[in-house]
Amino acid sequence: MYIVGIDIAKRFHEAAIIDSSGKVIVKRIRFANSHTGFLKIMDAVRKLDAPVEFGMEATGNWHSTLTQAEQIVHVINPLQSDALRNMFIRQTKNDTIDALIVAEVIRFGRYCETQVAPENIVALRELCRQRFFVVDMASDFKRKIIALLDQTFPEYEKLFSDTFGKSSVELLANYTTPEEMLSVDAQILADLLNKASRGRFGLDKANQIQHTAKNSFGIVLASSSFALIIRQYLEQLKSLESSIAAFDDEIARIMATFDTKLETITGIGTTLAAVIFSEIGGDIKKFSSVPKLVAYAGLYPKSPQSGESKTDGHMSKRGSPYLRRAVWLAAAVAAFKDPAVSLFYQKKRAEGKDHLTAIGHVCHKILAIIFAVLRDNKSYVPASAS
């Protein structure tokens, strides 16, 4: 039997072939990350005229390509190949050596297979991650718009409870600066606001806006340029919010194919449930205990020590940042909405913990609940605070 170790890269991969005794048969095969490259490595394997097993680290999509070609493929955690790599005197990164090391890990047989997530889990995970990215972009545009309004119309923030509500956005998209709002008849403003707010705002609001605009202390210099920038940012924001809505629809569609009960947990809706479920790979059995799940989320404390003293540290920030973010968001809600969790939060505050530290402790509790709900496949029932 022969073993083909593959080191995956972006454009070109490296492969090495050894036999069952560890003898190097082919030290280096360089092939492109393409169909042509696939044909090249498969041609090299066919020439061996003997059973072959492939090994590679858990990255890229080549495991799927080779599996579909009816090849035996072992996917391993990079940490397992790193352990063997450390035995080499020269520990520098080298693709040829890395391919041989992967092959040796498979030959020794002392490794755990990394389970490749099913296609729908991979799709869900990618959608959730991209949604976070787009949400962050939208938040950034909102911050930029607020900063510009603070210069051109600092009093504007008091006109609407939500600067980015429909009425406010419609107003800013058409009349952006105090000068523009004063240049139009109050009734025209009233009609625009009435339509955008579905009758909530009218002439009184239009008069208030013009009165505030007339007495604004905002800058006048280059106001037309500021207005153009704000309107362009509003267009970008509108596009991003449309993308978020599209992501939400698809995430909900895929999530509906699972029966996770995660949404019964206080603070966890469909989107956060999808993030949590996809980031753990759709199988809680991968984690033997709650502390293992906590560690994977990177929510265990990193406590620096100096001599015999020990001080409270920050969170380690290792593990999945997406899972950590989802759990943190859920904890921030549950700390005030879930009776038992709220009591736990208040207890930590009473012990002298600041808000963020107390929320960190709540995150552990939420992860314990998540673990139990997924393990037992039972709905979460909030315990009484009494």
Q: Read off the pLDDT of residues 67-109 as tens digits, 9 standing for 90 and up.
A: 888 899 988 866 555 555 555 544 445 556 889 888 988 888 8
Q: Which of 39, 40, 30, 35 is nearest to 8 (CA)?
A: 30
Residue positions counted in the chain? 386
Q: Which of 198, 222, 253 is the last residue of a domain?
A: 253
CA 67, CA 57: separation in Å to the nearest integer? 15
- In a shared domain, residues 243 and 266: no
293/313 same-domain check: yes
Same domain for 211 and 297, yes or no, is no
| Number of domain units in the chain | 3
Same domain, 71 and 153: no
How many whole angstroms separate alpha carbon 334 and alpha carbon 181?
43
Burial class (CB in 10 A: 0-12, 13-18, 19+), 299: buried
Residues 88 and 202 in one domain: no
Asked if residue 271 belongs to a domain, the reply is yes
Provide the CB-side half-sphere exposure for 241 (13 A, CA): 13
Does the pLDDT at position 305 exceed 80?
Answer: no
Q: What is the pLDDT of residues 239-291, one digit of tens each?
A: 999 999 999 999 999 999 999 999 999 999 999 999 999 999 888 988 999 99
Tokens of 185: 């008849």
User: Which neighbouring-strand residues pair with 35?
Assistant: none
pLDDT at residue 89, rounded to an integer: 43
* Last residue within a domain, chosen from 196, 219, 253: 253
Instruction: Provide the CATH number for the domain around residue 52.
Output: 3.30.420.40
Of 195, 5, 20, residue with least CA distance to 103:
5
Q: How many whole angstroms from its chain centre is CA 56? A: 25
Residue 383 lies in a domain: no
User: Residue 302 is part of which domain span?
Assistant: 262-376
Same-domain pairing of 228 and 338 = no
For residues 208 and 327, membership in a common domain is answered with no
**Quick one: CA dihedral 275, 276, 279, 285, positive or negative?**
negative
Q: What is the pTM of this model?
A: 0.76
Residues 230 and 340 both lie in one domain: no
The answer to whether residues 170 and 238 belong to one domain is yes
Residue with tokens 């009165």: 211
**Is the residue at 192 inside a domain?**
yes
Which residues, in sequence order, are CB contacts of 313 under 8 Å at separation 6+? 301, 302, 303, 304
User: Token pair 């809680």 is at which residue?
Assistant: 284
- pLDDT tens by residue, 106-126: 888 866 666 666 789 989 999
Q: What is the DSSP string of 169-230?
A: HHHHHH--SHHHHHSS-HHHHHHHHHHHTTTS--HHHHHHHHHHHHT-----TTHHHHHHHH
Is 337 domain-assigned? Answer: yes
pLDDT per position as a tens digit, 144-188: 999 999 999 999 999 999 999 999 999 999 999 999 999 999 999
How far is Cα 142 from Cα 240, in angstroms, rounded to an integer?
A: 11
Same domain, 76 and 104: yes
